[in-house]
Amino acid sequence: MPLIPSLINGELTTSSSLPNIPVTNPANNEVIAELTCTSEAELALAVASAKTAFQSWKEVPASERARVMMRYQQLLKEHHDELATILSSETGKTLADAKGDVWRGIEVVEQAINIPSMMMGETAENVARGIDTYSFIQPLGVCLGITPFNFPAMIPLWMFPMAIACGNTFILKPSEQDPLTPMRLAELFIQAGAPQGVLNVVHGGKDQVNMLLQDPDIRAVSFVGSVPVGQHIYKTATDNMKRAQCFAGAKNHSVIMPDSNKIQVLNNLVGASVGAAGQRCMAISVAVFVGDTKKWIGELTELLKAVKPGLWDDESAGFGPLISPQAKQKVLSLIQHGKDEGATCLLDGSDFVLDKAGYENGNWVGPTVFADVSEDMVIYQEEIFGPVLCCMTVDTLEQAIALVNRNPYGNGTSIFTASGAAARKYQHEIEVGQVGINVPIPVPLPFFSFTGWKNSFYGDLHAYGKQAVRFYTETKTITARWFEDDIPSGPNMTISLK
């Protein structure tokens, strides 16, 4: 059985005294690897190593740091399919979806290559007579990243490449549910030329995170995961005087206007709702049908009925299993809640079992559609994180906007319409950080930032793009005055001492 090590001070280590955590294939729940849990002493070593490495890494010119990122990007591209296959083996994602997960991460590394120009400060001449002011952007020190299971390539790559390109050193604590992909990412980063201690990877769950949050040498914390954990990490990190950015759960609405293109809308909703088994923080989990479009719900249900979960290498599979039996249990209990609360279950995936020998015990749930969903229902209020779409109806765009704005989450939303005026009103009035217009899942590319709002994000500065550079750096502002009398003059150009 493969044993997954930590990466501490440039060495792969399996020396932990703690019990291992089994890593399973979600398609049949068989154990595929054992994860070593990083002990308290090893965590301290990782922080010390990152602290030492920072002293030299911060002096490496930004253009040289960018070259490490260039080599890394190249290696990631060369290993793209290998990474996607590893990712599928531990998440159950279809290969196409896994490739997308890796690719979205590579795009952030591409952005990190631009670091020299992104770290340029500002200048102003003659702020007072003979005085100039200019600013530099300098790295913080040791940064920590805590990542969720659902994008084991993309989300670690949201964090450490930008932080390290800025001149910081990094400790990554990936999800214990799928650590094989992040470890492979780390190995390739070392291969790209990252010096010892610049990236450390530690493993475990809440105990390891809580120990790291107390460590005074960690300056900034990036987290992606669920709401309760995000709130806990934001509070604990800031109580310990650290900078924090915590990306949390979501409930994303898609608003369907009567003038929209029905075929496009329905096809888009299928992929956006149940793709990746609904385990995406930008998945569309609520479809809001405006006016007569409620007649489309039946057709949408028929399309979703045709989507079949399957194994990662089955090209006809619409999506894979849920990550764990616990995740499946949670989704099944929410589906039952929906039925008990009086929502109409038009399509029920609770009993889906993959008809393939050896995979009957996987964490399968089929596409599920509820109509007649109201705001007071638990299936509307809670993030389900499964292949479940809630359909709601309103009469007007104003009512749709009010509904979305009452929801406590604000990660993503989309509107389907042929009207520029309706789209303009929606983008302006909606209290959600990422808005798609005829685009179902509006995840920004890395030259922008990933900008969730409300309960989907705790902090100020978001992931990747210019905001990440600000998050991972300090600005130093220099006000300089030079005296004309001091300009060396005469044949020897000597400076006069006063």
Active site residues: 281
| Structure-token match 């008990």, residue found | 340
Residue 297 has which token pair? 């719900």
Minimum distance, C-beta of residue 424 to ligand NAD, in the bound complex (Å): 26
Tell me if 345 contacts ligand NAD by CB under 6 A: no
Q: Minimal distance in Å, beta carbon 213 to ligand NAD? A: 8
Rounded Cα gap, residues 157 and 103, in angstroms:
10
Evaluate whether 247 touches 171 at the Cβ level (below 8 Å).
no
Q: Is 145 in the site for ligand NAD (CB under 6 A)?
A: no
Q: For the chain, what's the residue count?
A: 498
**One of 383, 384, 417, 459 touching ligand NAD (CB under 6 A):** 383
Per CB under 6 A, 229 contacts ligand NAD: yes
- Our finding on whether 459 is near ligand NAD (CB under 6 A) is no
Only one of the segments 22-30, 41-49, 105-113, 172-180 lies at the binding site for ligand NAD (rule: CB under 6 A); that segment is 172-180
Pairwise CA distance, residues 107 & 109, whole Å: 5
Compute the CA torsion angle 449, 454, 458, 461 (nearest 10 deg).
30
Binding region for ligand NAD (CB under 6 A) out of 241-249, 263-271, 301-309, 435-443? 241-249
Q: Quick one: which of 456, 458, 464, 473 contacts ligand NAD (CB under 6 A)? A: 456
* Interaxial angle between packed helices 154-165 and 180-191, expressed in degrees from 0 to 180 and rounded to the nearest 10: 30
Told to check if 154 binds ligand NAD by CB under 6 A, we report no
From 228-236, 333-341, 398-406, 438-446, span contacting ligand NAD (CB under 6 A): 228-236
- Which position among 100, 148, 366, 386 is part of the footprint of ligand NAD (CB under 6 A)? 148
Strand order in the sheet with 123-128: 123-128, 131-139, 473-481
Q: Per rule CB under 6 A, is residue 150 in the interface with ligand NAD? A: yes
Q: Which stretch binds ligand NAD (CB under 6 A): 53-61, 148-156, 262-270, 483-491?
A: 148-156
Closest CA to 247 of 459, 468, 464: 459
Among 72, 170, 385, 471, binds ligand NAD (CB under 6 A): 385
Among 79, 184, 219, 232, binds ligand NAD (CB under 6 A): 232
Q: Does 57 bind ligand NAD (CB under 6 A)?
A: no
> Beta strand pairing status for 218-224 and 142-146?
parallel
Residue 39's H or E segment, with its range, is none
Residue for token pair 């989907």: 456
Is residue 205 close enough to count as binding ligand NAD by CB under 6 A?
Answer: yes
Phi, psi dihedrals of residue 437, rounded to the nearest 5°: -115, 110
Q: Which is nearer to ligand NAD, 224 or 354 (CB)?
A: 224
Nearer to ligand NAD, 276 or 415 (CB): 276
Cβ atoms within 10 Å, residue 351: 9
Q: Provide, rounded to whole angstroms, the least separation between the CB of residue 386 and ligand NAD.
A: 11
Q: Which of 207, 130, 206, 142 is CA-nearest to residue 170?
A: 142
- DSSP codes, 151-203: -TTHHHHHHHHHHHHTT-EEEEE--TTS-HHHHHHHHHHHHTTPPTTSEEE--
Q: Which two tokens stand for residue 316?
A: 């006809």
Return the number of the residue (285 or 301) whose C-beta is nearest ligand NAD: 285
Quote the least distance from Cβ 324 to ligand NAD, whole Å.
Answer: 9
d(CA 354, CA 360): 6
Question: Whole-angstrom Cα distance, residue 419 to residue 423?
Answer: 6
The two tokens of residue 302 are 């028929």
Site string for ligand NAD, 260-289 (x = CB under 6 A): ---------------------x--------
**Binder among 247, 319, 359, 380 for ligand NAD (CB under 6 A):** 247
Q: By CB under 6 A, is residue 209 in contact with ligand NAD?
A: yes
Judged by CB under 6 A, the residue of 224, 290, 317, 365 near ligand NAD is 224
Stretch that binds ligand NAD, among 38-46, 117-125, 187-195, 243-251 (CB under 6 A): 243-251
Smallest gap, in angstroms, from Cβ of residue 293 to ligand NAD?
A: 27
Q: How far is the CB of 338 from ligand NAD (least distance, A)?
A: 19
- C-beta of 38 vs 411, nearer to ligand NAD: 411
Size of the site for ligand NAD (CB under 6 A): 29
Which residues are CB-neighbours of 452 under 8 A, at least 6 positions away? Answer: 247, 248, 250, 281, 410, 411, 412, 433, 434, 462
Neighbours of 379 (CB within 10 A): 24
Is the torsion defined by CA of 228, 229, 231, 232 positive or negative? positive
- Please give the residue ranges that form the binding site for ligand NAD (CB under 6 A): 146-151, 173, 175-176, 205-206, 209-210, 224-226, 229, 232-233, 247-250, 281, 383, 385, 411, 452, 456
